[in-house]
A and B are shown apart, each in its own frame.
Chain A
Amino acid sequence: MENNLYLAWSPDATIQGMGSSGGAVTALLRCALENQMVDAVLAVKKRNNSRFDAVPTLITDPELVHETAGAMHFAPLNMVKIIKEYLDGAMDMRVAVTCKPCDARAFIELAKRNQVRRENLFLVGLNCSGTYLPTVAEQMIREAFGENPQDLAGEEVDEGKLIITLKDGSTKEKDLEELVRQGYEMRENCLRCSYKVPRMADIACGKWGNNGKSATFIEICSPKGHEFLDAAAQNGALVMEPATNEQIEKRKQKETEAVENAQAREKQEIEAFKRYSSEERLKYWLGHLSRCIKCFGCRDACPICFCKECYLEPYRGCIPGGETPPDIMFQLIRLSHVADSCVNCGQCQDACPMEIPLTRLYSVLNSELADIFDYKPGVDIDQPPPLTTVTEQELSIDAPDIIGENSSDR
């Protein structure tokens, strides 16, 4: 088997100093641009040099690649909507995009629906162990860490701890559980997210397994990933070294631990939900949804929502205009549209000014459907979405409530 696990870093001292783990991602993106393997790079950039405010930035000049910020745990953006809405789904432009696992999964779902052109995208996946809302993070740095948020130079979630680096080079760490007790929790969707290494992207990059070395552990996940890395190595932009067994083991151990925690959390949520009676659920959701001010934030932020003629608009005759809160139909339409394909990215909930726990609703339905349809959104680009596909085999199943082996265990 061709080796696909490497440690990589930039031989250039300046790039190495700027990137967080040996500057491998920065060097790779720069090399891709220089050699015209892509037309542009889409990445995140800090705004006003703050780690709590990120803006997406499209770069065509290789000299400017170093301005991108790598992983931002306190300013989660979604890159998918930007490609879809503002870059015409990369239909006629080759773009390298840095993406968290949830971004990568949303790209896969949109590619299945012909909303983005997968062949034109080079997905540079960044491992993710969770993100915080900027407001929560800022307060946490100030109060729990006792530091000025403006002094923050970097942050990292590792082995159940949040580790921050300050501008003077010093580091501080706190137990995640302790932080939760003080009221500082990650975004809810991150707690239940078990996709920590984005293997649906072309490469998956992270610190796990670098074992203290100033290098990035890269897993190559597609032929395109090989192509880009080979080019970078040949051009001398990257130094690559096959990962040792020890490094691979360490990474695996960290990933397993993170995934198990997330799965336990998800299971706990689903069990809690199942304990509620029908009346209790209805009361719970009517209570939350009655706060909706119909700002359309959830729809506009969601990478999966892409209809041009949206059912939520008054002219479609389903939700009357000028009424707040809207009838629960408003959220149920959205729920039915993302039911099978929500990637739990949390953008809807972040956008909601009324703090309605939307992903809680979507994720429960999504996990129930995953069992019935044997489908995990955003993982396999060759698996069509379950509500827009049927199989030949189903022609010969007569039962009205069974579509295959899995569907009967309702």
Chain B
Amino acid sequence: MSGKPNDFSPKILAFLCNWCSYAGADLAGVSRMQYPSNIRVIRFMCTGRIDPIFIIKALTNGVDGVLIAGCHPGECHYGKGNLYTRRRVLMTKKLLECIGIEPERLHLAWVAASEGPKFAEVVKDFTEQTKNLGPNPLAVLTKQERTVL
């Protein structure tokens, strides 16, 4: 990682729902669509399983962005898991803003199993956005600095 934002390659953690977005990512893959390789994927059975603490922990551990992708409203396999997630993400973004981490480091998108191209698009856009934000301020601080500031 160098200081120049242009060569900065962000580390992004993606929380994907097993039933839609994970399959959408698969489809993007088998269709050989190009998208940035910055994401590391964790698969969830439903976005409704994502505790805001997972997001916050990822960011305090130094990832530069967290992407959450799940089924469109009305399509969640468990009914309303994604609707809870939408509310929690709204809350978490505000929480991040309050303590001074850019809320744009967190992004929620709906990607259905058939939306391979959309998945590639979402990853591309979010990677670009995170790149423009630069490194996560918490990742830049050493542990020492974090606690004696």
Residues of A within 8 A of B (CB): 273, 276, 278-287, 290, 311, 318, 325, 327-329, 332-333, 335-336, 339-340, 361, 364-365, 368-369, 372-373, 386-388, 390, 394-398, 400-401, 403, 407, 410
Contacts and interface: CB of A to CB of B under 8 A. Distances in A.
A335 B147 CA distance: 18
A397 B73 contact: yes
B108 A328 contact: no
A398 B98 contact: no
Given A279-B137, A372-B91, A394-B83, 6 more contacts: A278-B101, A339-B95, A373-B90, A400-B110, A401-B90, A403-B83
B73 A394 contact: yes
A287 B94 CA distance: 20
B80 interface: yes
Interface stretch (B8-16, B37-45, B53-61): B53-61
Nearest to A407: B90
Interface string B50-72: 00110011001000000000001
Contact of B80 (A279, A286, A290, A390): A390
A318 B149 CA distance: 22
Q: Which 8 A-B pairs have the closest CB atoms?
A: A282-B100, A281-B100, A390-B83, A400-B108, A286-B149, A290-B147, A336-B52, A365-B98
Contacts of A327: 60, 146
A278 B73 contact: no
A387 B87 contact: yes
Given A372-B94, A394-B73, A328 B146 contact: yes
B109 interface: yes
Contact of A282 (B84, B137, B147): B137
Interface string B119-149: 0000000000000000001100100001111
Interface in B80-116: 80, 83-84, 86-95, 97-102, 108-110
B36 interface: no
Given A328-B60, A332-B60, A372-B90, A395 B74 contact: yes
